[in-house]
Amino acid sequence: MYKILKKELLSPNVWLYDIEAPRIAKKTQPGQFLIIRTDEEGERIPLTIADFDRDKGYISIVFQEVGAGTQVLGQLNEGDSILDVVAPLGKKTHIEKDMGTVVCIGGGIGVAPVYPIARGMHQAGNKVISIMGAKNKDILILEKEMRAVSDEVMVTTDDGSYGIKGFVTNALQQIIDRGEKIDEVIAIGPVVMMRSVVEATRPYKIKTVVSLNPIMVDGTGMCGGCRVQIGEEIKFACVDGPEFDGHMVDFKGLMSRQRMYKDKEKTESDHVCNLTKVKEAL
Amino acid sequence: MALVMKKYTMPEQDPAIRAHNFEEVALGYDEETAIAEASRCLNCQKPRCVQGCPVQIDIPGFIAKMKTGDFSDAIEVIKGSNSLPAVCGRVCPQENQCEKYCVMGIKGEPVGIGRLERFAADYDLNEQQKGAPVQCASDAKKVAIVGSGPAGLSAAGELAKKGYKVTIFEALHKAGGVLSYGIPEFRLPKEKIVQVEIDDLKKLGVEIRLNTVIGKLYTVDELMQEEDFGAVFVATGAGLPSFMHIPGENLNGVYSANEFLTRCNLMKAYKFPQYHTPLKVGGTVAVIGGGNVAMDAARTSLRLGADHVYIVYRRSEKELPARLEEVHHAKDEGIDFRLLNNPVEIIGSDDGNVKSLHCIKMELGEPDSSGRRRPVPVAGSEFDLPVETVIVAIGQGPNPLVQSTTPDMLTNKRGNIIADEETGATTKEGVFAGGDIVTGAATVILAMGAGKKAAQAIDKYLKDKG
Ligand SMILES: Cc1cc2nc3c(=O)[nH]c(=O)nc-3n(C[C@H](O)[C@H](O)[C@H](O)COP(=O)(O)OP(=O)(O)OC[C@H]3O[C@@H](n4cnc5c(N)ncnc54)[C@H](O)[C@@H]3O)c2cc1C
Ligand SMILES: Cc1cc2nc3c(=O)[nH]c(=O)nc-3n(C[C@H](O)[C@H](O)[C@H](O)COP(=O)(O)OP(=O)(O)OC[C@H]3O[C@@H](n4cnc5c(N)ncnc54)[C@H](O)[C@@H]3O)c2cc1C
Ligand code: SF4
Ligand code: SF4
Ligand code: FES
């Protein structure tokens, strides 16, 4: 059992949990993820390890309530325990000294997984320019944290309520246009966002890394459910990724596969809603 | 007394009913039938059956006890050689092993050794007193086992009995390997059988650490250097699903058998929405392959509500690698066998879902390296099989997580760990390996045999080391 040490609401429906897990904290590297199962009946939910503190022995997750699994997770409180946590999974982000200028882009909740990467890049002495995108000011997360590990931060909001009005790609274009030499872009967020970033950097041949989130089951390479088409090859995102060269990713296939359970999930969400109602009535 | 030439019939659930539930198909003998079946055994001086059993159970020995109704004694004899008898009695391909060599099989049907083993084991499960957990000596040496499938479980049992402090590390949230995530409930009940056999091991003092991926949370070197394990047994199985590399394999509705069965067995999707993991099964399903895995996927599809399920296999019936009994059960349940057919493409609709499986007919040519006649395509015989779901069950390779983080433990070209056949010793000192990770996908009992041999070798290694 893994105890929730801290629970914090970052924005509507988006939670940050610090979870006691000393061994996992010791082994985690930026870019890796975990799989959580809240209870016996729950799904295995993959989430990025948004932060880790090796001394204090905890890891952090930031998640959005989207369907049944994350709703149940969101109902847990400080002091409660999570049944299963498997981690660290996936390959770590490639971080080195002298990589040059790295643009770290986080869209929506994608800022959470970008944060440890930006921090790692910064600690390694690289120039970090971060772009944070959100629909509006109120749902922007982790701004303070990102500022602390970036040489420059640009914020974009869809409605212009804060920072640049527009998408993360608008900010990226500004950086390109001002003549900044970019050595690598890392983009994590909704698939459409990652695809736009990849299309934005393609003409300039800027190396662009994206972190993919296909549907997963085991996370150990055993089921093949997380397969993605990378160039000519089929790769399993849980063991070969989750990060891949964005210019090689078949985004259309990825989006199609993510929709696989849309209708089934609705039945399930209704089921959980009913369970919650029953719980509340009691 | 006249010889009874045929096996006593195994009571089974009616095919029409069982095709829609997950209850066990074969119901097991009753006491009377078990004794009658046992009485068919001739108690041979030189029992040929034993040579067919990979763990060399004293078959006439245990059957003799059963003839007189001493089932508890019978199970003691079996447990001397096999720590998971309730499992093996159910899933061993007996027709290729013990029963293949039984003298009774020459003129009639062999003795139903597997069924008898199952009866004795189930009797034992019901009668068993809850024994007190064993405590091993505080200075006992520590052995780590990676993977809780049959190979890992049998090695753990042997080593615990020898007084070692054994810890099993398992990546998933349930122990049992394929017994838990692969083989379906209707063939191998999880709570009643698998879990009970695992709990038995815990009583021997074996610790099982779930949710622990070796190669990630700990490397093999860390287990030995930091966690003080004197030896490591790697039994990570053949868990990496192969795909066919034909167009359309990434469409929605195409599963590896592993994903399909894992969702159903491990995640209990058949109890959706009580259990939250979904599993989509179309009305018409094609399962590609002819082994146990394919049979399990096909029969699971039926039980999840598919109307029509095909098995598409490129060779002929004779070459089907599945257990004979499973093929019979599948046919009785209405699975449609399309033999000598090979898929060439999966066709999708505009919305990215499977629409049909494009196949080509095959005929048998010259024998290939496996001695089986090689299937060759018949020119111009392509046809379209309209289906909504395709399940690929054409084999599994070794999962590379442990190997890739243990560079001095060498593998062969296919990625299987190189290990001595008799001892399981790998090229890395103190590290042993066995089961599917060494042999490639094989059988439960062979994996158990490997686990047992490795346990003996580990015992010797640790004693020699002092
Ligand atoms: C490597 C990886 C890292 C991730 N990191 C984060 C993170 O840090 N924070 C966060 O909020 N989310 C993250 N996700 C997505 C998160 O796993 C899904 O939102 C979650 O599984 C949805 O579960 P649910 O039961 O609440 O919703 P469901 O009702 O199951 O599904 C809601 C929607 O999410 C999609 N989905 C369902 N299951 C998965 C799955 N296993 N993986 C991906 N998408 C799925 C479905 O297409 C569906 O449209 C990550 C996913 C992956 C693969
Ligand atoms: C669907 C199906 C049906 C079958 N039917 C039959 C049958 O009827 N009869 C028969 O004899 N055989 C059958 N088999 C084959 C048989 O199940 C296998 O040969 C046998 O289970 C192999 O045992 P094992 O211990 O080597 O590996 P497995 O049973 O595969 O167990 C390996 C375990 O190791 C774990 N693991 C893997 N990597 C790691 C890691 N890095 N860290 C920690 N843990 C890890 C896995 O999660 C798994 O639990 C079937 C197989 C399948 C898939
Ligand atoms: S373990 Fe398998 S092969 Fe051996 S006697 Fe039992 S059923 Fe036969
Ligand atoms: S060969 Fe057949 S008849 Fe002879 S001992 Fe074995 S099971 Fe009995
Ligand atoms: S999640 Fe099963 S192989 Fe990646």
Question: What is the distance in angstroms between the Cα of B202 and the nearest Cα belonging to chain A?
Answer: 19
Both A113 and A219 in a single domain? yes
Both A192 and A160 in a single domain? yes
Tell me the pLDDT band of A279, cut-offs 50, 70 and 90. very low
Q: Are A27 and A90 in contact (CB under 8 A)?
A: no
At residue A263, the pLDDT reads 66
Q: Are A61 and A262 in contact (CB under 8 A)?
A: no
Q: Are B152 and B235 in contact (CB under 8 A)?
A: yes
Could you tell me what percent of chain B has a pLDDT over 70? 98
Question: What is the distance in angstroms between the Cα of A224 and the nearest Cα belonging to chain B?
Answer: 6
Residue B285, beta-bridge partner list: B309, B389
Both A81 and A118 in a single domain? no
| Residues belonging to chain A | 282
Mean per-residue pLDDT, B450-457: 94
Is the shortest distance between the CB of A224 and ligand 5 below 6 Å? yes
Helix B150-161 vs helix B444-465: crossing angle, to nearest 10: 40
Q: What's the gap between Cα A256 and its chain centre?
A: 19
At residue A272, the pLDDT reads 53
Q: How many CB pairs under 8 A join A and B?
A: 116
Total domains in the fold of chain A: 2
| B54 vs B84: CA distance, rounded Å | 13
Mean per-residue pLDDT, A196-210: 95
Q: Of A89, A122, A152, which residue sits at a domain end?
A: A89
Tell me if chain A has a CB within 8 Å of the CB of B282.
Answer: no
At residue A273, the pLDDT reads 52
Has residue A281 got a pLDDT over 60? no
Question: What average pLDDT does chain A have?
Answer: 90
Burial class (CB in 10 A: 0-12, 13-18, 19+), B408: exposed
Residue A186, beta-bridge partner list: A104, A209
* Helix or strand run (H / E) with residue B4: none
Report which protein residue has its CA nearest ligand 4's atom 4. Answer: B44
Q: Do B216 and A89 touch (CB under 8 A)?
A: yes
Main-chain dihedrals φ then ψ at residue A132, nearest 5 degrees: -115, 125
Question: What is the distance in angstroms between the Cα of B217 and the nearest Cα belonging to chain A?
Answer: 6
Return the amino acid letter for A223. C
Question: What is the distance in angstroms between the Cα of A43 and the nearest Cα belonging to chain B?
Answer: 5
| C-alpha A104 to ligand 2 mean position (Å) | 41
Residue A95 maps to a domain: no
Q: Which residues of B touch A261 (CB under 8 A)?
A: 278, 280
Return the amino acid letter for B136. C
| C-alpha B238 to ligand 2 mean position (Å) | 6
* Complex confidence, ipTM: 0.90
Burial class (CB in 10 A: 0-12, 13-18, 19+), B27: exposed
| Residues belonging to chain B | 466
Mean per-residue pLDDT, B102-117: 95
Q: Of A89, A121, A138, which residue sits at a domain end?
A: A89
Both A106 and A84 in a single domain? no
Pocket test for ligand 5, best of A35, A44, A238 (most atoms within 8 A of CB): A238
Main-chain dihedrals φ then ψ at residue A46, nearest 5 degrees: -80, 135
Q: What token pair was written down for B129? A: 């007193």
Tell me the pLDDT band of B370, cut-offs 50, 70 and 90. confident
Both A113 and A243 in a single domain? yes
User: Which residue in chain A is spatially nearest to B170 when comparing CA positions?
Assistant: A86
Has residue B192 got a pLDDT over 60? yes
**Residue A195 belongs to domain with CATH number:** 3.40.50.80
Both A64 and A164 in a single domain? no
Both A75 and A134 in a single domain? no
| B163 vs B206: CA distance, rounded Å | 10
Mean per-residue pLDDT, B32-57: 94
At residue A269, the pLDDT reads 57
Q: Are A190 and A210 in contact (CB under 8 A)?
A: no
Tell me the pLDDT band of B1, cut-offs 50, 70 and 90. low
Residue A280 maps to a domain: no
Q: Of A31, A66, A89, which residue sits at a domain end?
A: A89
Q: Which residues of B touch A221 (CB under 8 A)?
A: 239-240, 399-401
Q: Are B395 and B292 in contact (CB under 8 A)?
A: no
CB nearest to A257's CB, from B250, B280, B400: B250
User: Which residue in chain B is spatially nearest to A227 when comparing CA positions?
Assistant: B250
Going edge to edge, which strands form the sheet with B431-433?
B207-209, B165-169, B142-146, B231-234, B431-433
| C-alpha B278 to ligand 1 mean position (Å) | 13
Alpha carbon of B358 to those of A43, A274, B337, B381: distances in Å? 34, 43, 16, 11
Q: Do B216 and A69 touch (CB under 8 A)?
A: no
pLDDT, tens digit, 9 for 90 and up, residues A105-131: 999 999 999 999 999 999 999 999 999
| C-alpha B45 to ligand 4 mean position (Å) | 9
Residue A25 maps to a domain: yes
Question: What average pLDDT does chain B have?
Answer: 92
At residue A270, the pLDDT reads 58
Question: What is the distance in angstroms between the Cα of B329 and the nearest Cα belonging to chain A?
Answer: 26
Shortest CA distance to A2 belongs to which of A46, A33, A31, A39? A39
Q: Are B219 and B232 in contact (CB under 8 A)?
A: no
Q: What's the gap between Cα B216 and its chain centre?
A: 26
Tell me if chain A has a CB within 8 Å of the CB of B190.
Answer: no
At residue A129, the pLDDT reads 95
At residue A260, the pLDDT reads 78
Q: What token pair was written down for B192? A: 């009643």
At residue B128, the pLDDT reads 63
Burial class (CB in 10 A: 0-12, 13-18, 19+), B364: middle
Both A81 and A162 in a single domain? no
The residue behind tokens 């983009």 is A187
Both A172 and A60 in a single domain? no
| B102 vs B104: CA distance, rounded Å | 5
| C-alpha dihedral sign at B215, B216, B222, B224 | negative
What range defines the domain where residue A43 resides? 2-89
Both A179 and A60 in a single domain? no
Has residue B137 got a pLDDT over 80? no
Q: Do B277 and A43 touch (CB under 8 A)?
A: yes
Residue A272 maps to a domain: no
Residue A21 maps to a domain: yes
Alpha carbon of B385 to those of A10, A83, B247, B389: distances in Å? 51, 44, 15, 11
Residue A243, beta-bridge partner list: A211
Tell me if chain A has a CB within 8 Å of the CB of B305.
Answer: no
Tell me if chain B has a CB within 8 Å of the CB of A41.
Answer: yes
Residue A264 maps to a domain: no
The residue behind tokens 């772009």 is A131
**Residue A68 belongs to domain with CATH number:** 2.40.30.10
pLDDT, tens digit, 9 for 90 and up, residues B15-37: 999 999 999 999 999 999 999 99
CB nearest to B216's CB, from A88, A218, A253: A88
| A208 vs A78: CA distance, rounded Å | 38
pLDDT, tens digit, 9 for 90 and up, residues A124-168: 999 999 999 999 998 899 999 999 999 999 999 999 889 899 899
Q: Let me know the angle formed at the C-alpha of A241 by A237 and A242, rounded to the nearest 5 degrees.
A: 80
Three-state secondary-structure class, residue B73: helix
How would you write chain A as a 3-class SS string? CEEEEEEEEEECCEEEEEEECHHHHHHCCCCCEEEEECCCCCCCEEEECCEEECCCCEEEEEEECCCHHHHHHHCCCCCCEECEEEEEECCCCCCCCCCCEEEEEEEHHHHHHHHHHHHHHHHCCCEEEEEEEECCHHHCCCHHHHHHCCCEEEEEECCCCCCEECCHHHHHHHHHHCCCCCCEEEEECCHHHHHHHHHHHHHHCCCEEEECCCCCCCCCCCCCCCEEEECCEEEEHHHHCCEEEHHHECHHHHHHHHCCCHHHHHHHHHHHHHHHHHHHHC
At residue A276, the pLDDT reads 52
Residue A270 maps to a domain: no
Helix ranges (DSSP H) in B321-410 = 324-332, 401-404
Q: Which residues of A touch B278 (CB under 8 A)?
A: 261, 264-265, 268
| B229 vs B146: CA distance, rounded Å | 12
Q: Are A23 and A77 in contact (CB under 8 A)?
A: no
Mean per-residue pLDDT, B342-358: 93
Has residue B99 got a pLDDT over 80? yes
At residue A268, the pLDDT reads 58
Per DSSP, the residues of B248-268 read TTTSBTEEEHHHHHIIIIIS-
Tell me the pLDDT band of B373, cut-offs 50, 70 and 90. confident
Q: Which residues of A touch B249 (CB under 8 A)?
A: 234
| C-alpha B267 to ligand 5 mean position (Å) | 14
CB nearest to B258's CB, from A42, A222, A257: A222
> What's the start-to-end Cα distance of chain B, in Å?
58
Residue A64 maps to a domain: yes
Tell me if chain B has a CB within 8 Å of the CB of A88.
Answer: yes
Both A157 and A217 in a single domain? yes
Both A85 and A110 in a single domain? no
Pocket test for ligand 4, best of B42, B77, B94, B100 (most atoms within 8 A of CB): B42
Q: Which residues of A touch B149 (CB under 8 A)?
A: none
Main-chain dihedrals φ then ψ at residue B313, nearest 5 degrees: -135, 140
Report which protein residue has its CA nearest ligand 3's atom 4. Answer: B53
Has residue A256 got a pLDDT over 90? no
At residue A267, the pLDDT reads 59
| C-alpha A239 to ligand 5 mean position (Å) | 7
